[in-house]
Each structure stands twice: as C-alpha cells, then as structure tokens.
Amino acid sequence: MMAEFCGNPAVEAGEVLMPRKRKFDRSRICVKCKINPGNLVIRHSVYCKGCFTPLIFTKFHQALEPYINHVSVGPRRGALKPSGALLIGFSGGLGSSVLLDLVYQRYCANVGSDNLKGGREHPRKNKVWQKIYVCYVEVSDIFPETSDRTAQIREAIARYDGFELIPVRIQDAFDRTWWERVSGGAAPDLAGLPFDLGGGDSEPVAALQTHIRALPTPTAILSTLSTLTRLLLLYTAYSVSASHIVLGTSLTSLSISLISSISQGGGFVVPQAIQEEWFPQFVQRTIGDTSWNGEVRLVRPLRDVGMKECTAWVWWHQLLVVGKQRIPVPKQTIGDLTKNFIIGLERDYPSTVSTIAKTVGKLAPRGDSRVRCVLCELPTQQFVQRWKSRTSIRSFTDDASSMDTATSSLPHYLCYSCHTTLTSKSARSTATLNLHSSNSAPALNLPMWAATRLALELGSEQSVGPGAPANEIWETKKLDDGGMKSLVGEFLLENE
Amino acid sequence: MAPKSCALCQNSKAILRRPKTGQHICKHCFFTVFETEVHNTITQAHLFKPGDRVAIGASGGKDSTVLAYVMKTLNDRYQYGLNLFLLSVDEGITGYRDDSLETVKRNQEQYDMPLKIVSYEELYGWTMDRVVSAIGKKNNCTFCGVFRRQALDRGASGLGVDQIVTGHNADDIAETVLMNIMRGDIGRLGRCTAICTQGEDRIRRSKPFKYAYEKEIVMYAYFKKLEYCSIECIYFPDAYRCLARAFLKDLEAARPSAIIDIIHSGEAFELKEEVRATQKSQHSCKGCGYMSSDVLCMACFLLEGLERGMPTAAITDKGRRELEARWSTRTT
C-alpha cells in the first residue's frame, strides 16, 4: 500500500511520491524481432538474447572492417584484404575477453564452410587474416605486490584455435636486446648526449623502477604504464608484420579514457584515442606512396559496445574472464576519479557515456603537426613550452622564446601530456625532475624508442651544428670587408 | 625545520604554496607572478588598444573585485590607456544581490570608476525569483545565464563601451569544457576556450583571468585585503555545472595542473570541418535584434515561454518551434 504522506513536514502532501522512471521506451518485447520478450535493456531499447548476438556482431564488424584494407575501396564493400597479420592487445579484462571471442567467431570459427550464409566475400568463406597473434603485457616484475598472470592468460587464449600468444614484459621497453630484435638495428650509444638518459641501470627492471620512482604523482605512474603498453604493442605488431592491432576498449572505457586524456592535456591527440595510424620512427615514408610499409593501424572495434553489453556477452557465451591487473598506487589517480564520475553521472544522466564518445568523435586537432613526441610517439603541437611558461610562471629567469628552440633540452622533444606527466606535482609529491638542465638528479631513464630517437636527433646536431639538417654538409667561413663589398658593390655609389 | 626561502626570488621567506604550481613563494613574488600572467594573457591576445572604453562586469564577488583591482593596476603600470567602467546586473534574487551590489558600490568609490547597474526587472519584466517560481529549480541557470549575457550587452551599449571584460577564471573555463563535452554541446565547445568573443551587433567580450586559478584569485584578494561578497547562488547546487565543478575539484586535488591542462586541451582541438559546415549561421533576432542562430534569440524564446505559461518549452527544440509559431501568430 502506497503511503500518501512521508511525514516530512517540509513537503506538501500529494507531492511526495516521485513517478518511477521507466527503464525502457516502449514495451517489453524485443525491438528487433518484435516477437520474443526482451532479456536486456540497452539504453532504453529492449533486446532478446537471440537478437543481441547479431547486434553486437554488427557493431563489431562495422567498427573494424572499413579499416582492414590498407586503402579504402569506397562505400561498396569489397573483399577484405589486410596487408599483414592481426594482433589482439589482450589485458585479461572484460572488453579484451569479449574482443577475443568476437574475432574468433567472426574470422576463425567455421571458416571455409559452405553450409553457412554469406556472400562470396563473407569472412567465413575465405580466411581474412593469415595470422592472428594475441599480445599480453605483464607488469608483475615492477610491482612485487602483484602476481604473474601469464599462465592464466595462456590458459584463457588456449580455448581459441589458431591464436598465437606473444607474452611481453613491461620492462622490455628498457631492454636493449628486445629493442634490437624489434627494430632490427643496434641499440643507440647514449654517451655524450647533453643530458643524462640513464642512471647506470643496464638491467631493464631496475631501469623501469628508476623511471617510475622519478614520477611525481600516481596519475603519472598509470599514464606512463599505459603509454609503455601501447608502444610495446605497436612495436611488437611491427616486428611480426601485423598491419592491424585491435583493442577491447568498450564505449564506457573509451569515454572514460577520453575525459581522462583531456584532463591531462591530451586534447591535441583525442582523435588518436579513438583510432590511430602509426609507423616506427626508423621507417621512411614517401608522401603519396600508398603501398604498405609496415604501418600499424590501431582500431577499437568495441567502441560502440557498452560495458553492460560486454557483461551480457560474457554471461550468455560463458566466457572465462581473467580480469584486468590492478596496479597498486597509493592514491586516487585522475583515471580513477574520471571512472567514478562518469559511471555515477550515467545513472542520473543516461547516454552520458555515448554522448562523450560522439562529441569527441566530432573534434579534430587544431593545426597540423608532423613532429612526434619521443616518449608517446603521438603528434605534438608547436610552442608547448612557450605556452606553459606564459600561463604559469615558474622562474623569473627563464626566457620563454628560447624554450621551444632549446634542442639540447628534453622538453623540446616532448608533447604537452608527456611533459606534464613528468613534471606536474601534487601537494604531496616528493619526486623532482628538472628536465631543463643536464646532470639533473634523479636521472631519467627513457624507453628504448625514446633514447634511440634522441640519440639520432642530438647526435646529428652535435656533429654538424645545432639547427642544421642531419644529412647535409655545411662549410662556414668568415667574410672580410673585401668579400662583403664584392657582394654589394654594384649598389654602392662612387663615393662610398 | 628551517623556514623555506621563496622559490622565485630566493631572498624572502616563503609564506604560501602557490596553488597553480605548488611552488613555495613569498607574498611579493606571488603578486608579481599573478599580475604578470594576467598581463601576458592580455598582451598575447592583443585584447586592448589605447583609448578603449572597457566595462568590467562587476558582481561584487571575488573574481570581479580582483579583476577591477588588477585591471586598474595593470592599466596604470603598463599604460594600456584604457577608460574603465563598472557594470553590474541585478538578477532579482532575494538575499543574493543585495549585499553584493553594496560591495560593487564600495568598489566604485575605492577604484574611482563610473558604475552602471541594469536589472532583469527593468529589461525583461521578470526577476529570477519569479522565474524560478514558474519553472522550478531545474534549468534556471539557462534562464539566468541567457538573461545576464544580454543584460551586460545592453548595459555596456548604454555606457558606449568598446569591450566588456568578465572575471571568468581558469576553473570556470575548465568546467565549461568538460560540461560541453559531457552534454554534447559542440557549438559551445568550439568557442568556450576563446579568450575573446565577438559577433555581429554584439559587444566584444574577453576574459583576462582565463588562466588564473580561482584559489589564487581568492589568495590575491586575501593578501591585498580586497573586500568582496562570498555568497553562492541559492539555486546553484541543483545545476549540472555543480557536478562538473565537484569533479574538477577532485581532479585538482589529484594534480593541481589539471585545470590548466583541460584548458590547453580545449584550445588544442576544434570542430571537424564537416561538422562546422552543419552549424547554424548567426543573424539577428526578429524579436529584439540581438544576435541569434534562430528566428528568435534564446532570451526571447525564454520570455515567450514564461509569458505563455510554458516556461520550459524553450529548453527543447520542439518547444522552441512551437513558441516560434505562436510568436509569429501574435506579431502578424
């Protein structure tokens, strides 16, 4: 029996009861088949179990397949012919597990069978991917409180025939042997550079731990691990001739990571947060060349699939989810705060998650950039240091105009986000990094790709002079009065 | 533990930790960096030219009080050559504006600037108290914001000024960026980090405090012993912006640079070209002549809704079309 009055004297009788919010728009019958009763509500629409599976498959292949061919063949869908193999970035989490299953069901299960529906170019008729790898990045060596989950990951992947696991360890980013293997070249000589890139740590675990200890905030630690993981996946994909990487980022995770990235100054690269085209720094590309030269396309095929839908998929398809590794950091990070906020907001303002992703999808970077950050290898804006010094004065002696051209200083090669990650402190930070001078303490170890790029940039500057293009030979000589006069002689009047 | 020296001058004793950078600095250096950053903002964006008549949107709160003080200080120090005025809006919110308008009048005497006050009652025939009693506590920020914007323009037009400056600070801009992304308002998202906005028939407005942290404005007022009113709008806690503000405060606690980082992100992106092409073009409102992307400007839509007893109709597209049809019938 409903009470007429809740007893709160501040509220008038008759206005107490709030009408119950409907969870779905129309009826309980599935909106797709209009026959079966619904089993799940997805953003106010009701779906039965039978229609749910094809719905998710549709979202998956619509988000991935237009980007499989190296050059788009236009609006009419043709054969899917990727240039290389496929690499699945697998964290063990919910989205990754769903992605693994979808890739298997779509491209591996029942391939070549004549009994199933689909046209001549349907993926089930002919194998799309000649090879599918699954790459997992283990972090337990850096955080002793965590356990090594490689065996569990291997067991989860073993259920899928034809997937080859490539286990990578996070400290490989600082491992010269790993670098020589993926880049096909020798690791750089770091001696003689104008700033210290190593604290003498030749052992990768120690090098990475030194790097992490120097970071000023817990947010910086998680941000760094995310960057290292992304680059490890990209370089691993390149080393196995994979043309595509797919990640299991769901719509919910994507929205959270977009807001988190924007909160850390990553506005210039938000389009890359949705989809990215990357090539290693040591690959030369010619403008206008449309052939594949090892570029890797990073796609997020679950970007239209929410967390709730992923959970339903796991439940109905009885998948094994190992779970994502939780990094032990002492305090809440920007990522944690963003996740709690967005998920909380979704309760009172539904569609917030999809609105964020759609809104950011309509944005583009302001201005061009052909330069990439040495640390995250994403496009970087010009004059970042000048902007920072103008808006936040940290010294009365720094010259803003020289900051962006000081090529012997590490900040010159960093994007806004990475510079902020390395330097921005909280009230309780104890780690301090001075990136503007050499012989700074503590030393900053950099991952191999960053150290290589810096050695190339700075090594070539030192041999030919700052500002000079690396491959040209310059000769300088001082002009005397006679030499200068000969250049302007024809313009001089007789009495000069 | 020995007292720390100021991180900037290395001479004096540090007496505060700067919210924006975390540096321990002395009072004198704090004043210097705060004022210099505002001066950098003004000169970098070429906000003013000598001889400009500039109205300072003054509410009596901390932002506008400090803005008036800093504008006067920088105008004298760097010879901007500006003629400064104070412009205040009375929204008709009982208990909110009474004290703050008194503060603005005191500021007028202290800074020796002419003052003009415009009210919602005289401009629109509605106070915010009457509006809220008609629409409830949801969407009232939309009404107040739209009405205030036009009120400032009309007041400035009456003063014959070239430009309006407002005390919008870094926290305001950062929360606006986040709010517009979360609500999908791409039209506003494309403009919200612009330091200066101007459209046809609209007075140019700028935000010299764009990179100034709210906490530093409070600190500046405290050390300079400036008088201001610290009263939050009674209708604010129910606003969507309040949620974005709470989130921003959490981010700032985790990493103080988050506020300036969000502003940098907002400046670093723009709308895709194909999206910009679909945005509505601006022309004049048929009701009041103000700039509008529709037949009527938002203020006229809101007023039309209030007068017809459909106060929240103007919040939705469908409601606005209905109001436009009724307005057309009324005026033909």
In this predicted complex, what is the ipTM?
A: 0.84
Please tell me which residue, A304 or B150, carries the higher pLDDT value.
A304
pLDDT(B279) > 60: yes
How many other β-carbons are positioned within 10 Å of the β-carbon of residue A461? 17
Residue A330 tokens read as 């002492």
Determine contact: B268 vs chain A, CB below 8 A.
yes
Buried b (16+ CB within 10 A) or exposed e, B60-89: bbbbbbbbbbbbbbbbeeeebebbbbbbbb
Q: How long a stretch of residues is chain A?
A: 496
> What pLDDT score was predicted for residue A1?
39
Which residue, B146, B94, B145, B151, is CA-closest to B120?
B151
Three-state secondary structure call for residue A245 = strand
The pLDDT score that the predictor gives to residue A201 is 54
Name every residue whose Cβ is closer than 8 Å to that of residue A491 and which is 6 or more positions away in sequence: none
Give the pLDDT score at B131: 78
Give the amino acid at A93: G
Q: And the tokens for B232? A: 């939050």
- Residue A123's SS3 state is coil
Is B131 annotated as a binding-site member? no
Question: Which residue ranges form the domains of chain A, and what is each CATH number?
Answer: 19-67 (no CATH), 79-361 (3.40.50.620), 384-484 (no CATH)
**Percent of chain A surpassing pLDDT 70:** 72
Alpha helices in chain B (DSSP H): 27-44, 62-78, 97-111, 120-124, 128-135, 140-159, 170-183, 186-189, 214-224, 240-254, 258-268, 273-276, 298-307, 317-331
The pLDDT score that the predictor gives to residue A479 is: 52
pLDDT of residue A27: 79
Residue B137 has pLDDT above 70, yes or no: no
pLDDT at A34 over 50: yes
Predicted confidence band at A465 (pLDDT cuts at 50, 70, 90)? very low
Indicate yes or no: CB of B255 within 8 angstroms of CB of A266: no
Mean pLDDT: which of A166-175, A385-394, B125-134, B322-331 is highest? A166-175
How far off is chain B from A143, nearest CA to CA, in Å? 22
Residue of A nearest to B265 (CA): A267
Distance CA B99, CA B88 (A): 13
**What is chain A's mean pLDDT, rounded?**
80
Residue-wise pLDDT for A81-95, tens only, equals 889 999 999 999 999
Interface contact flag, A263 B22, Cβ < 8 Å: no
Report d(CA A379, CA A11) in Å as an integer.
Answer: 57
Mutate to test the interface with B, among A18, A393, A403 (most CBs of B within 10 A): A393
E strand or H helix at A308: helix A307-316
Residue B92 in marked binding region? no
Pair A249, A307: CB distance under 8 Å: no
* Entry pTM: 0.85
| Cross-strand partners of B270 | A364
Q: Dump pLDDT digits (tens) for B66-125.
A: 999 999 999 999 999 999 999 998 887 776 667 788 888 888 988 889 999 988 888 778
Percent of all residues in chain B with a pLDDT value above 70, rounded to a whole number:
86
Chain A residues with beta carbon closer than 8 angstroms to that of B42:
none
Q: Is B260 helix (H, G, I), strand (E, B) or coil?
A: helix
For residues A307 and A114, which has the higher predicted lDDT (pLDDT)? A307
| Span of A60-74, A224-238, A341-355, B187-201 with lowest mean pLDDT | B187-201
- pLDDT at position A43: 78
Q: Which residue has the tokens 């990768």?
A: A204
Q: Lowest mean pLDDT of A21-35, A330-344, B81-95, B152-166, name the range.
A: A21-35
- Residues B56-62: what's their mean pLDDT? 90
Spatial contact of A446 and A197, defined as CB atoms under 8 Å apart = yes
Q: Name which of A423, A419, A249, A426 is nearest A337 in CA terms.
A: A426
For chain B, say whether A432 makes contact (Cβ under 8 Å).
no
**Coil vs helix vs strand at B332:** coil
Contacts of A469 (CB under 8 A, 6+ apart): none
